[in-house]
Structure 1
Amino acid sequence: MTASGQPFAASAPHPHNSEQTAQRQPVLFIPHGGGPCFFMDWPGTWDTMAQFLRDLSTRLPRKPDAIVVVSGHWEEAVPTVTASAQPALIYDYYGFPPHTYELKYPAPGAPDVARAIRLLLQENGLPSAQDDTRGLDHGVFIPFMLAFPDADIPVVELSLRTDMDPQAHIAIGRAIAPLRDRNILIVGTGMSYHNLRHFMSGSPTTNQAAQDFDTWLATATCAPAPERDRLLTHWDTAPGARVSHPREEHLLPLMVAAGAAGPDQGQRIYADTVLGKPLSGFQFG
């Protein structure tokens, strides 16, 4: 069932007109911060990002019936969905104050939406799996505690693929794009820059590489769809790419979001400098 109490049909015909297009949910790629950063005494560092997340729901045409989220913190051999009706939380961060391991986000799951995702993937020739016990990792519940604080919208998490193939992740997004027309919000959460070794103490060279990559990423993500997908597929050839992402798991949720965007143009909706590094967030549609 959806949040409105109606059964969810994955492949039901959905006619398109201007009113329905206006009501279609956008696709988002948002930063999720560093561990439980928004719930600690870290003056000034994360304030702009926190406010961006608090304001995020104002960008939506209406309250979603469910949210499908791809986090940089879950990888499986094939795309895998959470199928629990009441997902627990996974406190997958380490060395933080004790109170951050007591944070709560009791959003329900949506097993029917999980089934719909798998059907859409199957219809596009993509294998999938489900996990009936896995909870939501901190790449989901930490930003959602700010963006959707009532925890009353069902959440299904969709994994990355362990092979890190950007083209495959764009294809995953393209397959699940019809969910947008059924009032399902698709969100990728990660970080546009994710090099922990250099995050707080980079040299001028690494700082410039981070800036070069952020500039390239904004241009690529906001390009018309065919060019956008081509550029993102070859993201690792961009200036500063591997300095910004020694491993790309925090960038790949953007690929899923771009695939789900279809022809919708991207726009940068968040830009900030955190711990000396530029960070960006994007919206499609």
Structure 2
Amino acid sequence: MTRLPTFFVSHGSPMLALDAGNAGKAWAQIGQDLPRPRAVLMVSAHWHATGSAVSAVAEPETIHDFGGFPPALYALQYPAPGDPALAREVFQALTDHGFTPRTDPARGLDHGAWVPLRVMYPKADVPVVQLALDMRQGPAWHYHLGQALRSLRDSGVLIVGSGSMTHNLHDVFGPEPVSPDYVAPFQDWMHGQLDAGNLGALLDYRRHAPHAERAHPSEEHLLPLFVALGAAEGERVTRLHDEVTDRVLAMDVYRFG
């Protein structure tokens, strides 16, 4: 079986589930370009657990983990099956590499997972397993988490990190107009370092990237990128999309491998 690439997608507002726009075209192209995967291992910005965790439910629910949106958004479902057998493989791979994950027999799919997946695989016929972030840890830890999962790509598992290239909700919803001048410099810096394979700078981006703390007041929306990057260690990097929405949300999509 051909080794699958990994991806980082910026999932943006939950409203993209109703109209995915230009980002949706990039998501759809991923599903169209690849052979059908055995399953998707989704690393979403919206699930956190100590030591990480793996969803092991056969029929994951669609979690509407947001508020204040139109009723049509809450009516959407993404009834993809889970894959408890893959969850056990992920658990074992992480354990073998010194991590201390747990399996979660009830966790469904949060919007960081199902919003892009319903465009990538609209028939909801590809099994999905979620992997949690550990917010006590930084980029290097999550990069190593990805490294531990690399072999899964050889058995048809598609590893996708879902977050946002920039994510400052205060600048989106704050009372004052916000200049987006910090977004492009941060995007450009990240793209340059990814393209050059400058891993040391990337793992220490909060010291080196321009406006890093403004772009990411907290790290949960960028950490999925490091998992996808680690799972494709040293392989080719391609930026597939780089739109900015809501003035300050960079919607970059990357393919690794």
Q: Is TM (by shorter chain) over 0.5?
A: yes
Is the counterpart of residue 218 in structure 1 residue 178 in structure 2?
no
In the TM superposition, what is the alpha-carbon distance from 1:232 to its structure 2 partner?
2.0
Corresponding residue number in structure 1 for 2:255: 283
Aligned with 1:125: secondary structure?
coil
Letter in 1 for 2:3: R
Distance 2:156 2:116 in 1: 20
Q: Distance in 2 between matches of 1:109 and 1:254?
A: 23
> Which residue number corresponds to residue 16 of structure 1?
none
Query: One-letter code of the match for 1:249?
Result: E
Aligned mate of 2:204, from 221, 234, 238: 234
| Aligned-pair CA distance for 1:39 | 0.9
The corresponding residue for 1:249 is: 220
Q: Report Cα offsets for 1:81-101 as digits up to 9, x if no partner.
A: 000011111110110111211
Q: Please list the CA deviations of residues 46-75 of structure 1 after superposition, one character each: whole Å capped at 9, or x if unmatched.
A: 521122222221232x11001100000000
1:135 is aligned, of 84, 92, 108, to 108
Contact 2:23 2:251 in 1 (8 A): no
Note the 1:261-276 alignment, pairs <5 A. Answer: 261-276=232-247
What residue identity is the alignment partner of 1:161? Answer: D
Question: In 2, distance between residues paired with 1:199 and 1:281?
Answer: 20
| Amino acid of the structure 2 residue aligned with 1:281 | V
Classify 1:55/1:202 alpha carbon distance in 2 versus 1 (closer, same or farther; 3 Å): farther
Q: 1:154 aligns with which of 127, 139, 145?
A: 127
Whole-Å Cα distance in 2 between the matches of residues 161 and 276 of structure 1? 29
Distance 1:175 1:202, change over 3 A: farther
The reply on whether 1:33 has 2:4 as its aligned counterpart is no
> Greater shift after overlay, 249-258 or 47-56?
47-56
Of the candidates 16, 26, 32, which is equivalent to residue 58 of structure 1?
32
| Higher relative contact order structure (alpha carbons within 8 Å, sequence separation ≥ 6) | 2
Aligned partners of 2:62 and 2:137: how far apart in 1?
25
Other-structure match for 2:21: 47
CA root-mean-square deviation: 1.5
Tell me the matched-pair count. 253
What residue is the counterpart of 2:140 in the other structure?
A: 167
Which whole-Å CA distance do the structure 2 matches of 1:253 and 1:202 have between them? Answer: 29
Separation of aligned partners in 1, 2:144 and 2:177: 35
- Residue segments in structure 1 that go unaligned for 5+ positions in a row: 1-19, 41-45
Shift of 1:202: 5.0
Question: Which amino acid counterpart does residue 243 of structure 2 have in structure 1?
Answer: D
Unpaired runs of 5+ residues, structure 2, are none
Residue 250 of structure 1: SS of its match in structure 2?
coil
Q: Which amino acid aligns with 1:234?
A: D
Tell which structure's C-alpha radius of gyration is larger. 1
Normalised TM-score (structure 2): 0.94
Percent identity, please. 35
Q: Does 1:74 align with 2:47?
A: yes
- Render the CA deviation track for 1:141-176: whole Å, top value 9, x for unaligned: 111111110111110000000214111100100000
Q: Deviation per CA, 1:10-55: give whole Å up to 9, x if none.
A: xxxxxxxxxx5xx210000011120233316xxxxx5211222222
State the TM-score, normalizing by the size of structure 1: 0.85
CA contact (8 A) 1:266 1:282 kept: yes
Amino acid at match of 1:30: V
Kept after mapping to 2: 8 A contact 1:164/1:252: no
